């Protein structure tokens, strides 16, 4: 029997076991458990401006681009950075537009695995289950980026202030925990403050950029146009093929714009989500792409000695570049703080997003102990157990840094790799449906119209291209220390997902149970 529930956005949501059609009675056997999980609902309180601010600050493009500058300087140099950010913006904007079409039909926290289930021509239970695991793990790795960048940048500034300070990996891990603790507390005790924080962070995200650029432009000597637009650096990393060097160097401009789906996972707390979420995705991606391009262009024009930046003892070229430009440690710290603060607040949003994603997967019985993790706390109105699960993942992943910084960097690239694969699955299925059954392609409040297929194909092309080169090691010859473990780690996650399917998933997973209907 179908249970109809009216949400505050005036959209009707149908809660029902999807069923697998194999007659094993699993949906019947778990009816009570399913009913319990589906009663765990969130309150809708986010409007368009707070949702747009959420989307814009979650990516934190220019702040992240500064932190990941070394990747481009090491492989390819200025030409990779300046043209790469254009490639990254176009590719991610195509992905955002393609996902926005699906989000306008089914704006639910589960997003990709939800769409995969309804688009797949066959094996939909397995594909959606597999998709869910990859997406959840990728987002768990993604929320480690902000604590890692901010924690280790704090260490880098200490090195700048006290050159005799010795960097210790375990100190970086402790700083990661310190950076993450306040966002976790805010997510628990001040959920409604998030909307205000998002708008404030959005303002800082926009205002701090021209201030930062102005400081560089006024104080730093200017590099010639040829340095910014025509300089291609090859050979530093050991890679010789220019195409490979360029593609590997893109990591520094791909990571700042990965995560365009973040706002979708907040859909069940957004008013009029079918309209607001797609717009926020597209505008958030476009705004961040433009800001990252402006920031990186200014940095390349104003950077000083190239070798000093790459070999900076702080571990971050951007710290050295800021110090070369200002000649003042205090001014450098202020410039870095203006980048770190919006990036830190982006962690508030990242935690909220991945928490809702993990909660939605548990609500659909995708996680072990799903009944436990799907509970929404009646007092704080959030899935607090899912939040603690995500926080535990941050703590666990942070220990990798103690053993190997390269291994932890691989986790960072793993997040982007996993996310692009999570985008590829529903987009490929959508294109297949456009060819095989165009009349059944879902139509929502946002549509690309005749541009739908070309934009989908461009999105698939870019996501495939990014996914191929993200696992490549940054340096040759490859050793255990500099190996990029993103590919093997993601492979392990995929094998784990398959194993969990065989042991538990095929008996428990009946697909997503939250479906938007027309209300008719």
Q: Is the pLDDT of residue 331 over 90?
A: yes
Q: What are phi and psi of 74, to 5 degrees?
A: -80, -35
What is the C-alpha separation between 5 and 15, in angstroms, rounded? 8
Nearest CA among 215, 7, 120, 161 for reference residue 433: 120
Evaluate whether residue 148 is within a structural domain: yes
Q: Is the pLDDT of residue 317 over 90?
A: yes
Per-residue CA distances from 449 to 92, 281, 383, 443 (Å): 19, 18, 37, 10
For CA atoms 410, 411, 412, 416, give the dihedral sign: positive
Evaluate whether residue 415 is within a structural domain: yes
Strand pairing partners for 14? 4, 515
Q: Write down the pLDDT at residue 408.
A: 65
Number of domains making up the chain:
1
The CATH number covering residue 298 comes to: 1.20.1740.10
Q: Is the pLDDT of residue 22 over 60?
A: no
Nearest CA among 86, 460, 66 for reference residue 299: 66
- pLDDT above 90 coverage of the chain, percent: 32
Q: Write down the pLDDT at residue 12.
A: 35
User: Model confidence over 489-498: pLDDT tens digits?
Assistant: 888 989 999 9
Give me the domain span that covers residue 342: 46-509
Evaluate whether residue 348 is within a structural domain: yes
Tokens read off for 230: 């025509």
Position 1 confidence tier, pLDDT thresholds 50, 70, 90 = very low
Position 483 confidence tier, pLDDT thresholds 50, 70, 90 = confident
User: Model confidence over 436-470: pLDDT tens digits?
Assistant: 888 888 788 888 888 989 999 999 999 999 889 88
Q: Is the pLDDT of residue 137 over 80?
A: yes
Q: Is the pLDDT of residue 499 over 80?
A: yes
Do residues 51 and 386 lie in contact, with contact meaning Cβ atoms separated by under 8 Å?
no
More confident call, 486 vs 319: 319
Q: Give the helix ranges, DSSP H, for 220-328.
A: 225-230, 242-249, 251-254, 273-302, 306-310, 317-326
Q: Is the pLDDT of residue 197 over 80?
A: no
Evaluate whether residue 474 is within a structural domain: yes
Evaluate whether residue 362 is within a structural domain: yes
pLDDT average, residue stretch 25-48: 51
Evaluate whether residue 465 is within a structural domain: yes
Q: What are phi and psi of 19, to 5 degrees?
A: 80, 150
What is the C-alpha separation between 61 and 260, in angstroms, rounded? 11
* 435 Cβ contact partners less than 8 Å away, ≥ 6 residues apart: none
pLDDT average, residue stretch 477-500: 85
Q: Which of 38-42, 373-377, 426-430 shows the lowest mean pLDDT across its residues?
A: 38-42
pLDDT average, residue stretch 152-172: 87
What is the C-alpha separation between 9 and 16, in angstroms, rounded? 20
Tokens read off for 102: 């699906």
* 461 Cβ contact partners less than 8 Å away, ≥ 6 residues apart: 91
Q: Tell me what percent of the chain is helix, strand and coil, each rounded to the nearest 5.
A: 70, 5, 25
What is the C-alpha separation between 242 and 233, in angstroms, rounded? 9
More confident call, 63 vs 377: 63
- CA 175 from centroid of its chain's CA atoms: 21
pTM of the model: 0.85
Residue 5 three-state SS: strand
- pLDDT above 70 coverage of the chain, percent: 87
Q: Write down the pLDDT at residue 202.
A: 81
User: Model confidence over 382-406: pLDDT tens digits?
Assistant: 889 999 998 998 888 888 777 666 6
More confident call, 116 vs 475: 116
Evaluate whether residue 39 is within a structural domain: no
Nearest CA among 376, 398, 379 for reference residue 387: 376
Evaluate whether residue 299 is within a structural domain: yes
What is the C-alpha separation between 400 and 471, in angstroms, rounded? 17
């Amino acid at each position: 029997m179908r249970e109809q529930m009216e949400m505050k956005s005036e959209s009707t949501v149908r809660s029902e076991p999807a069923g697998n059609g194999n007659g094993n009675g699993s949906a019947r056997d778990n009816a009570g458990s399913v009913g319990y999980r589906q009663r765990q609902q969130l309150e809708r309180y986010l409007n368009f401006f707070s949702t747009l601010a959420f989307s814009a600050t979650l990516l934190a493009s220019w702040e992240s681009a500064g932190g990941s500058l070394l990747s481009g300087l090491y492989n390819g140099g200025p030409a990779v950075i300046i043209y790469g950010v254009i490639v990254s913006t176009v590719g991610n904007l195509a992905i955002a537009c393609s996902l926005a079409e699906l989000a306008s039909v089914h704006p639910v926290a589960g997003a990709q695995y939800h769409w995969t289930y309804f688009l797949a021509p066959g094996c939909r239970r397995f594909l959606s289950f597999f998709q869910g695991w990859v997406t959840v793990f990728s987002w768990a790795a993604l929320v480690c980026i902000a604590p890692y960048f901010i924690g280790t940048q704090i260490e880098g500034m200490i090195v700048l202030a006290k050159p005799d300070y010795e960097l210790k990996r375990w100190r970086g891990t402790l700083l990661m925990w310190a950076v993450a603790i306040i966002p976790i507390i805010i997510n628990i005790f001040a959920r409604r403050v998030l909307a205000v924080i998002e708008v404030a962070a959005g303002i800082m995200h926009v205002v701090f950029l021209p201030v930062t650029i102005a400081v560089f432009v006024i104080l730093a000597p200017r590099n010639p146009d040829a340095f910014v637009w025509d300089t291609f650096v090859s050979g530093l990393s050991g890679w010789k093929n220019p195409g490979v060097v360029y593609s590997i160097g893109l990591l520094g401009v791909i990571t700042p714009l990965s995560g365009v789906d973040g706002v979708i996972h907040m859909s069940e707390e957004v008013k009029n989500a079918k309209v607001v979420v797609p717009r926020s995705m597209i505008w958030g991606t476009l705004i961040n792409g433009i800001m990252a391009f402006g920031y990186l262009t200014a940095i390349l024009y104003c950077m000083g000695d190239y070798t000093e930046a790459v070999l900076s003892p702080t571990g971050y070229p951007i710290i050295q570049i800021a110090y070369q430009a200002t000649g003042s440690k205090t001014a450098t710290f202020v410039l870095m703080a203006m980048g770190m603060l919006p990036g830190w607040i982006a962690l508030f949003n990242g935690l909220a997003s991945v928490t809702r994603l993990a909660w939605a997967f548990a609500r659909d019985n995708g996680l072990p102990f799903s009944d436990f993790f799907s509970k929404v706390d009646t007092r704080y109105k959030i899935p607090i157990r899912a939040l603690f699960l995500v926080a535990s993942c941050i703590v666990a992943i942070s220990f990798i840094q103690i053993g190997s910084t390269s291994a932890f960097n691989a986790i960072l690239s793993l997040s982007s790799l996993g996310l692009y694969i999570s985008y590829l699955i529903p987009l490929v299925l959508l294109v297949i449906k456009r060819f095989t059954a165009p009349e059944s392609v879902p139509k929502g409040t946002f549509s690309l119209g005749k541009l739908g297929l070309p934009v989908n194909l461009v999105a698939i092309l870019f996501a495939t291209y990014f996914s191929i080169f993200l696992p490549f090691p940054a340096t040759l010859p490859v050793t255990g220390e500099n190996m990029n473990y993103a590919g093997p780690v993601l492979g392990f996650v995929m094998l784990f997902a398959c194993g969990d399917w065989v042991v538990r998933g095929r008996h428990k997973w009946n697909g997503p149970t939250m479906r938007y209907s027309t209300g008719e």
